[in-house]
Chain A
Amino acid sequence: MIGTLWRRLRDRLRRDQLTDELGEELRFHETLLARDRRAEGMDPEEAAWAARRQLGNRTAITEETRSLWSLRWLDDAAQDVRLAARSLRHTPVFTAVAVLTLALGVGANSAMFSVIRGALLRPLPFRDPGSLLLLSYQQRSMAPWGFPAMLDRHFDEVRRGARSFEAIATFATRLATLTRAGDPARLDVVGVSPEFFSVLGVRPGLGRLFDSTEVQGAGAPVAILSDALWRLRFGADSAVLGHTATLDGTPFTIVGVMPARFAFPPDAQLWVPADMRLNPNLIMMRPVMGRLRSGVTEAQALAEFEAVSRRFELVPDEHRENMTARLYPLDSFLVGTARRSLLMLAGAVAFVLLIACANVANLLLMRGAARRQDVAIRAALGAGRGRLVRQLLTESTVLFLAGAAVGVPLAFAGMRGLLALAPAGTIPRTQDIRMDAGVLFFTFGVALITGLTFGLAPALAVTGQGSTASPGHGARTTVSRSRLRAGLVVAEVALALMLLTGAGLMLRSFQRLRAIDLGFHPEHVMSVTVDLPNTKYRDAAAMQDFHDRTLAALGRVPATAAAGAVNWRPLGEAQIEGTFTVEGQAPPEFWVSKPAVSPDYFRAMGIGLLRGRPFSEQDDARAPGVAIVSRSVAQRLWPGADPLGRRISMEDHPQASDWLTVIGVVEDVRQERLTQGPVSAIYQPYRQVGGTYSLSHMSFVARTDAAPRAYATAMRAALRDIDPDLPAQALAPLEELVAVQRLAPLFQARLLAAFSLLALVLAAVGIYGLLAYTVVERTHEIGIRMALGAATGRVVRLILARTLLLAAIGVVLGAGGALAVTRVLSTFLFDTSPTDPVTLCTVSALLLLVALVAGLVPARRATRVDPVLALREG
C-alpha cells in the first residue's frame, strides 16, 4: 500500500516523461499492427487506418493512464501553496512580521530541543545502551537521585553472585598530576575495574585495552589516554604507545588511546586500572554499572540484586533496614540534576512559541477580516466553505513553515550560543549535541502542527456564516472575531506574565545569592592551589617546608599585602570535617570543619578576628598546641562565657599533648557551597598539624592591589622556582573562583530573562497590532463620536481603557497561572519564595506599563481620524 503510494508519487514527478514514453509505446504498437495488416495484403494507407482503429482511442487511453500518474490532492495542494505564496507576497509587511515572529519562536524551541535531544534523549553512544544500568546500595534516605554508588566489597559480591548481568564494573575519578608530558597538569584520572570497557562495549581507537594482569593492578602501571589528551599533550602521534609519563610521580606506560566520541565519565582524560579496596573499615563508595544479560528484565535484575544485597556485610553502625538496593539508567549518571534545569528552560521557551503563535493567529485574523470581501465574493461564486478553509489553512501553514525555515539558522546559532555560554555542568553530554535531521524534523513538525492549529480558528472565523452570507457587512461575526482576537491578546499577556514572573524570581534569587555574607572578603585576593604528591613529599615536615617556602616567596613579591595558606579553601566545594573533644564537656553533638592555616591567613582572606589573637610564627611544631574557633563554635560551646584559654582537641581520646588552647575567635565562613549556611570551624596552624592528609592539598591566598594577571604571573613563577613539577591549579582571583558557584543560577536566570523579554516584546506587538486594527475597524464609530463633539482626550481614553482592560485580564489570569506554575522553580531558587509577592507585583506593573505604551500609538492615531472622511467612507 505504502509502496503503491510511493510509486504513484514518483510517477507523478516524472509524469511528462512517462507520457512521452507511453506515446512511443503506442506508436510502436501501432506500427506493428500496421505491419501485420500489410502482411495480410492491405495497402499501406488502409493498414494504417486499420491499425489505428484496432488500437482504440489514443486520447482516451493516454488520459486514463495519465490519471494513474496523478495525485489529485497533491496537485490541489500544490496549487493552494502557489496561491498562498502569491497572496503572501502581496502583503510583504504582514508576511515579514509573521515569519520573523515565528522564526524567533520556532528557532528558540529548536535550539533548546537540539540541546535536550543530545543531552537527555539520544541513546548513549555505546552498544545496546538500554541494557546499561547503574547499581546503587546505600542509605535509603539518599534522594532518589543522590550519587548512586556502592562499597568495593559489595560490588565484589554482586560481581560474583549476580547472574542477571553480563558484567559489572566500578570506576572512580580522581585528580592526579601528570608530568613528563609537557607542563605539569592536574587531570581527571579514572580508575576502572577490569570489566569497565567491556561493559560499555568500546574499543580503543589506537593501541589496546588493559591485559589481564594489568587490570588486576599487578604488573607495570599502564594507562589509556582520552583522544583530547592525546591531541593536546602528545600531538596526536601514534608513536605514543609505549611512551611513559608520570602520574603523581609514578611512571606509567601508555597502551591505548580511546576514540574521540568516547567520553565516559564525561571529564575523563586518562583511564588506569583501579585497585579494589576490600578493607572493611573503608567507607568510600564508587559508582557501579552493569550490562543486563539479554532476556533479563530490569525488575528481575533488581530482585536478584536485592537478594544478593541481603548478604552484604554492613559498615558498623549501619542498619540493614536503612539501606536500599536500587538500579538507575546509566545516562542518569551523566545527566544528574541538569535534567530539571533543561526541562524548565524548555518549558519557558515553549511559552515563547505559544505567544508567537497567538500573535500570528491574530495577524491572520486581521488579514482575514481585511479580505472578508474577497472571501465573500469567492463564496458567492460557489467556492465551498471547505475549499476556502483549506486555502486559508494552506496559507497559514506556508507562513509557519517559512517561519521554521528562517528559524533554522537562528536555532543553529542559538544552539551554539547555549553551548558556549552554559557553565560547566549545566548542559551534559555536549559531544552528543548537534543539529541533525531529527532537529530539523522537530522544527518543521512543530511549524506544521502549530500552523494547522493556530491557522484553523482564523480560517473558520473568516469563512464563518456572516461573511459568506453577504459580501457587505457581517456584524455578528465581527463581534465573535473581535472576541477571538481579544482572547488571543489576553492569552499572550497571561503567558508573558508567567514567564516574566519566573525570570523575576530567578533574578531576585540571584541577587540574594550575590548578597550572601561569605564571612571573608574575596576582593583583591589571588588564589592558587597545589597538590603535593606523596611520592615526592613523603612526610608532614616536607610538606610544611614547601608551604613555608611558598609563603616566603609570595611575601617577597612586592605587591603582596598579606599572604596566607589554607588546606581546603572556602567555596572550593570540599572541606575536612570531623569530631572533636572539649575539655570538661560531654562530646559535642556537631562536627566541625578543620582547616589548617598559616598565621597570616585571616588577614589575607579578610576573615574578621572577633576576639584574641591570630596565629603567629611562634605557633610551630615545638610550641604548645593552639586553635582558633569560629564564632558559632564559641557560641555553641561556651555561650556567654569567654572562649579564650579553653582547651579542645581534635582527638576523641586526647593525650596530654593533644590539647589545643583556644587563642582566638573568628567569623564563620561559607565553606563548601554558597547556598549552605556558614560552617563551624576550628582552625589550627598548619605547622602544628601532623597528618599529610591535612597538608597535601593547599591553597595559597594573597591580598594584593596588583592587576590579577600580573600577580598570577608572579605566583606561577614563585611556585615554579620551588617545584617545577607542580601544576598551579585554580590560579585566579578569589572572586572569580567564588563566582563559579553562581554561574549556573546566573545562566538560568539570564536565559529565562532573555526568553521572557522576547515574550514581552511579542506580547507588546500583539497588543499594538490589535489596537491599531481596532482603531481602523472603528474609524466610522470614532468619526461619529467626534462629529458629535467628543473631545480627543475622550477618544484616547476609550482606546487606552480597552488596552488596560485586556492587559488587566491577562495579568490576573497570568498571575493565577504563575502561582500555579512557578512552583517548578523552587529547586532553582535561593532564599526566594516561588510565590514572592514583590516579584509578582513588579512584573504585573511592568506588563501593564508596556501594554499602555503599546496602546498609545493607536490611541493617538484615533485622535487624527477626520470625522468627515470617516463618515463619508462609512
Chain B
Amino acid sequence: MTLPSARRDLLPGTLDMLVLKSLTVSPMHGYGIAQHLQRLSQDVLQVEEGSLYPSLHRMCQRGWIAAEWRRTPNNQRARYYTITSAGRKQLGTQETGFADLMAAIARVMKPA
C-alpha cells in the first residue's frame, strides 16, 4: 500500500526509460510493467499506475514500442507492448544520458 506522499517523484522522462528497459525483458501489458518496476526497485519506485498509460501511448505514437491485443495465460484479453528497434535506440540514448547525469550528481554530492 502506497500513499501519494510516500511516492518518490521521478525525474522527467525517466518513466519512459524505465518502461522501455522493462520491455527489453519481454513483451508485457500495463499491469505487468507496473509490477515489474515495483519488484525490481523493491517498491522504492512507485508510479501512480494510471500514469503509465499516457506514457505508453505516447511511446506508441513515437514508434518506440508497439501494442497488440493478446490473450493472457489466464485467457483474458490484454494489450501487450513490445519494444521496437527505434525504441531500443532511444533507450540506448536515454541510458547514456542518465548515466552521465548520475555521475554528475554523484560528483556534486561527494566532492573528491
Residues of chain A whose beta carbon lies under 8 Å from any beta carbon of chain B: 3-4, 7-8, 11, 18, 21-22, 24-26, 28-29, 32-33, 50, 54-58, 60-61, 64-65, 68-69
Asked if residues A28 and B49 are in contact (CB atoms below 8 Å), the reply is no
CA distance A65 to B60 in the complex (A): 11
Interface readout for B67-93 with A: 1 if CB under 8 Å, 0 if not? 001000000111100000000000000
CA distance A261 to B19 in the complex (A): 57
New A-B contacts (6) at CB < 8 Å, excluding given A7-B63, A65-B57 = A7-B62, A24-B79, A26-B50, A28-B31, A28-B78, A61-B50
Residues in chain B within 8 A of chain A (CB atoms): 1-2, 29-31, 34, 48-51, 53-54, 57-58, 60-63, 69, 76-79
Chain A residues with CB under 8 A of B58: 68
Compute how far the CA of A68 lies from the CA of B67 in the bound complex, rounded to whole angstroms.
15
A residues within 8 A CB of B53?
Answer: 22, 25-26, 61, 65
Contact among B1, B57, B60, B76 with A28 in the assembled complex (CB-CB below 8 Å) = B76
A68 pairs with B61, CB closer than 8 A: yes
Which of A11, A28, A57 has the most chain B CB atoms inside 10 A of its CB?
A28
Which chain A positions have C-beta within 8 A of B50? 26, 29, 55-58, 60-61
- Given A29-B30, A55-B50, A65-B54, decide whether A24 and B63 contact each other with a Cβ distance below 8 A: no
13 sampled A-B residue pairs with Cβ under 8 A? A7-B60, A22-B53, A24-B77, A25-B53, A28-B78, A28-B79, A29-B50, A32-B31, A54-B48, A54-B49, A57-B50, A64-B54, A68-B58
Is the pair A56, B57 in contact by a Cβ cutoff of 8 Å? no
Q: How far is the CA of A853 from the CA of B32 in the complex (A)?
A: 82
* B-side contacts of A26, CB under 8 Å: 50, 53
Q: A29-B31, A32-B31, A61-B54 are in contact. Are A11 and B77 (CB under 8 A)?
A: no
Known A25-B79, A65-B54: A8·B61 in contact at CB below 8 Å: yes
Residue on A with the closest CB to B2?
A54
**C-alpha spacing A69/B77, complex, angstroms:** 23
Q: B62 is contacted by which of A4, A22, A55, A57 (Cβ under 8 Å)?
A: A4
Asked if A68 and B57 sit within 8 Å, CB to CB, the answer is yes
Q: Is the CB of B51 within 8 A of A56?
A: yes
Q: How far is the CA of A454 from the CA of B30 in the complex (A)?
A: 52
CA distance A64 to B30 in the complex (A): 16
Q: Please indicate the chain A residues that have their CB under 8 angstroms from the CB of B62 in the complex.
A: 4, 7
What 5 pairs between A and B have smallest CB-CB spacing?
A56-B50, A61-B50, A64-B54, A56-B48, A55-B50
CB < 8 Å neighbour of A68 from B49, B54, B63: B54
The reply to whether A25 and B30 contact each other, CB–CB distance below 8 Å, is yes
**Chain A: CB-nearest residue to B3:** A53
Q: Which of A11, A24, A50, A60 contacts B1 (CB 8 A)?
A: A50
Chain A CB count within 10 A is highest, among B34, B54, B78, for B54
- Which of B30, B53, B60: most chain A Cβ within 10 A? B53
- Of the listed residues A3, A18, A54, the one surrounded by the most CB atoms of chain B closer than 10 A to its CB is A54
Q: Which residues of A contact B48 (CB under 8 A)?
A: 54, 56
Residue on B with the closest CB to A61?
B50
A28–B29 contact, CB under 8 A?
yes
CB of B85 to closest CB in A, whole Å: 13
Residues of A close to B69: CB separation below 8 A: 21
What residue in chain B is nearest A67 (Cβ atoms)?
A: B54
Complex Cα spacing A68 to B79, Å = 18
The contact of A61 among B1, B51, B60, B76, by CB within 8 Å, is: B51
What residues of chain A lie closer than 8 Å to B57, measured between beta carbons?
Answer: 18, 22, 65, 68-69
Bound-state Cα–Cα, A390 to B62, Å: 30
How far apart are the CA atoms of A7 and B59 in the complex, in Å? Answer: 11
Chain B positions within 8 Å of A65 at CB level: 53-54, 57
A64 — which chain B residues lie within 8 A by C-beta?
Answer: 54
Expressed in whole angstroms, the Cα–Cα distance for A4 and B2 within the complex equals: 35
Tell whether, in the assembled complex, residue B54 and residue A29 are in contact, meaning their CB atoms are under 8 Å apart.
Answer: no
Contacts of A50 in B (CB 8 A): 1
- Determine the residue in chain A with the shortest Cβ distance to B34: A29
Determine the residue in chain B with the shortest Cβ distance to A37.
B1
Residues in B neighbouring A22, C-beta threshold 8 A: 53, 57
Q: How far is the CA of A717 from the CA of B30 in the complex (A)?
A: 92
In the complex, which residue of chain B has the Cβ closest to the Cβ of A3?
B63
A7 CA to B66 CA, complexed, in Å: 12
Report yes or no: A11 in contact with B31, Cβ–Cβ below 8 A. Answer: no
Give bound CA distance, A138 to B34, whole Å: 82
Q: Which residues of B contact A8 (CB under 8 A)?
A: 61
B77 touches A55 (CB 8 A): no
Compute how far the CA of A683 lies from the CA of B60 in the bound complex, rounded to whole angstroms.
89
Closest Cβ of chain B to A540, distance in Å, is 84
Q: Which residue of A lies closest to B86 (CB)?
A: A3
Complex-state Cα separation, A60 to B49, whole angstroms = 13
Q: Is the CB of B76 within 8 A of A33?
A: no
A40's nearest neighbour on chain B, judged by CB, is: B1
B71 nearest CB across to chain A (Å): 12
Chain A positions within 8 Å of B51 at CB level? 56, 61
User: In the complex, which residue of chain A has the Cβ closest to the Cβ of B63?
Assistant: A3
CB distance from B80 to the nearest CB of A (A): 11
- Complex alpha-carbon distance, A712 and B76, angstroms: 88
- Chain A nearest CB: distance from B31 CB in Å? 5
Q: How far is the CA of A26 from the CA of B30 in the complex (A)?
A: 9
